[in-house]
Amino acid sequence: MSVLTYKCPNCGGYLVFEPETQHYTCPYCLSDFAQTELDTATSESEDIQDTEENTQEQEGQVLIYTCPSCGAEIATDTTTAATFCYYCHNPIVLSGRLSGEQMPSLIIPFQISKEEAKKRFLSWIGSKAYVPPDFYSPAQIEKLSGIYFPYWTLDCTLQADMHATARNVRIWHSHDIEYTETKTYAIHRLGEISLTELSRNALTKSQSKMLEGILPFDLKKTCSFHLGYLAGFQAEVKDIEKESLLPELQEEINGYAKSLLSDTLASHQHITTDSFQTYNAQHIWKYLLLPVWILTYQHRSKTYYFAMNGQTGEICGRLPLYKRKLFFTCAGIFVVVTALITLIGGLL
Ligand SMILES: [Zn+2]
Ligand SMILES: [Zn+2]
């Protein structure tokens, strides 16, 4: 399988993708390249270092690659498509992991830089009480990782058909007589419904709650997939196929379709649905990589995390509680409450 590093045309150092400028920079000579400049440069010379490596499989799960820069061995999971060499820290793209069925059609490149992500993490932590300080120590914050995660999106068009019965009741009085009028309607609603951009996480080992908690991405701003966007980040490929997501998504779609048709019955009273069905569903699936900043923290065998949408900055997190601080505050409240009760007791 091929191992890629993007080389600087000026000095031969490795290039990384820079979210703030959407350009590539060289950390050694500080050169800056737009995608088009790099495309011209790489067509003229061999600036993408591409090595065919013999990969070894260990216990069926971990694969070993050789770093093109220093020759060290790099172990990866079978879903990892971009990572760093642990020794020379050069960014490495495992291009073979992104071919064929595993080739995403679209990507949203990172828009938020690591520095910006750190700032937002600290201000988010600042708004929470009782978090243990080692969760946000400088050494811990340095572990904040930019990872492209695989997602599926589904656009669906379908016909929905609903039969319902409504009873509208009107009551009025004239002299001493009460009149009741009941009108019964047989209602038929038929509609074509389009739903777009229903998104699902496509990686088993990731925590779905975390990755679905930072949705939505602005999918209008996707780009065609290009391996260069992965330079300097980590990336994972999918191991959940669309077929396994369809039953759950179809149920969600039917729920939306039913509520859209029901919304048209608002002028009626006492509605009972007699039948509801959908048919002619047309599905358009897209497999894409989306940017997420992640920080995880192990505490008493539990994993806590901070995740931030690398495009919009939306945050989702599960935080450890700082028990000692919490106890002091609770004790404080208890003392105040006791003092108040005593005071009120004294007044009575
Ligand atoms: Zn350079
Ligand atoms: Zn290396």
CA of 48 to the centre of ligand 1 (A): 13
pTM: 0.77
CA of 297 to the centre of ligand 2 (A): 26
pLDDT tens, the chain, 348 aa long = 667 778 888 888 888 899 999 999 988 888 899 988 877 765 554 455 665 554 554 444 567 778 877 888 877 888 888 888 878 888 888 888 888 888 899 999 999 999 999 999 988 888 776 777 788 888 888 889 999 999 999 999 999 999 999 999 999 999 999 999 999 999 999 999 999 989 888 998 877 778 888 989 999 999 999 888 998 899 999 999 999 999 999 999 999 999 999 999 888 889 999 999 999 999 999 999 999 999 988 877 888 888 999 999 999 888 776 665 555 555 556 666 666 666 666 555
Residues surrounding ion ligand 2 at CB below 5 Å: 67, 69-70, 72, 85, 87-88
Model pLDDT, residue 328: 57
Q: Please tell me the distance from the alpha carbon of residue 179 to that of residue 345, in angstroms, as a whole number.
A: 60
Q: Please tell me the distance from the alpha carbon of residue 193 to that of residue 157, in angstroms, as a whole number.
A: 6
Model pLDDT, residue 150: 94
For the stretch 72-86, what's the b/e string if a residue is b when 16 or more beta carbons lie within 10 angstroms of its beta carbon? Answer: eebebeebbbbbbbe
Among residues 1, 211, 15, 24, which one has the least CA distance to residue 109? 24
Query: What type of residue sits at position 192?
Result: E
Sorted by sequence, the CB contacts under 8 Å of residue 27 that are 6+ apart come out as: 13, 14, 16
Model pLDDT, residue 2: 66
Ligand nearest to the CA of 15: 1
CA of 19 to the centre of ligand 1 (A): 18
Model pLDDT, residue 133: 79
Q: Please tell me the distance from the alpha carbon of residue 128 to that of residue 135, in angstroms, as a whole number.
A: 12
C-alpha 147 chain-centroid distance: 10
CA of 92 to the centre of ligand 2 (A): 9
Model pLDDT, residue 60: 45
Query: What type of residue sits at position 67?
Result: C
Residues surrounding ion ligand 1 at CB below 5 Å: 8, 10-11, 13, 26, 28-29, 31
CA of 89 to the centre of ligand 2 (A): 6
CA of 6 to the centre of ligand 1 (A): 11
Are 144 and 121 contacting, i.e. CB atoms less than 8 angstroms apart? yes
